[in-house]
Amino acid sequence: MLRLISILLLLAGLAAAAVGVALVMEPATPSTRIEEEVSLPNEPTAAVPPAASSIDGALESADEEPVMRIETARSAAPGQLTTAPIAYEAPEAAIFGKPFDVTLSINATGAASAAADLPGRDPITEGEAEVGRQVRAVISGGAFEVEARSPDTQALSSDNPNVWRWRARALEAGEHELTLEIFAITELGALPIRTYRGIVTVQVSRVREAVVFAQEVNPIFMVLGGIGSALAGLLGAVRFFRGA
């Protein structure tokens, strides 16, 4: 039994020392974040009067802060905008480092709802928006890495619903805001028509906590601890064989 313990200490020490050396030699790489800038090159953007923006609604309870804030902005553009149902699906919780999907649907076919074209795995927020012939939608959030999986700008179809899809990954634990902004593309430029601001609670799994802890530990201490453990195991093995 003593020989087995000594061998295990030796192996564990060597492994810890190797990990520490690898961390010391590994160059630091900053986290990459994607921030969406809402701008259209070479197209004028119409100014929205301050009174045009208003809070249309929020999903809230009497004792809690709203989880989702919905903002609607309307601009005077006679004949250029039509009303269409929209549906937005995004999670309220996510796992740190694990990707999740965000989906938007706008149904300009005359249907009463756009929710049927969403995956239906996460909470769905429905409403209406005044849209033009083309619509641009972008997702942003400082604590998320966002990858667009469909074109940002789409021409609305009268035959089939238009769907926007994104794949997002949380870069930080805690509660963080994820924002969806929708613009109508008209002759006046990009007109903001709807903004969703939701809070995503990012949790950390136990495995990820262990990985983060190992990354935060000073590699020098890991090397020294590994060498100490290896020496202890080696001395135990030497004493055991000498006693034999």
| Model pTM above 0.75 | no
Least confidently predicted of 65-79, 100-114, 144-158: 65-79
Least confidently predicted of 132-146, 170-184, 192-206: 192-206
205 pLDDT more than 90: no
88 pLDDT more than 70: yes
- Gyration radius of the chain over CA positions: 27
Strongest mean pLDDT among 11-20, 24-33, 125-134: 125-134
User: Sorting pLDDT into bands at 50, 70 and 90, what band is 95?
Assistant: very high
151 pLDDT more than 90: yes
18 pLDDT more than 90: no
Pairing of strands 93-95, 189-203: parallel
The average pLDDT across 150-159 equals 96
Amino acid at 124: I
Any residues with CB less than 8 A from the CB of 55 and at least 6 apart, and which? Answer: 69, 70, 71
Amino acid at 197: R
pLDDT of residue 189: 87
pLDDT of residue 186: 86
The average pLDDT across 122-136 equals 93
pLDDT of residue 42: 42
Condensed to tens digits (0 to 9), the pLDDT of residues 48-66 reads 343 333 334 333 333 444 4
Give the separation between CA 203 and CA 92, rounded to whole angstroms: 11
User: Per DSSP, what are the bridge partners of residue 179?
Assistant: 140, 197
**Length of the chain, in residues:** 244
pLDDT of residue 97: 87
User: Sorting pLDDT into bands at 50, 70 and 90, what band is 187?
Assistant: confident
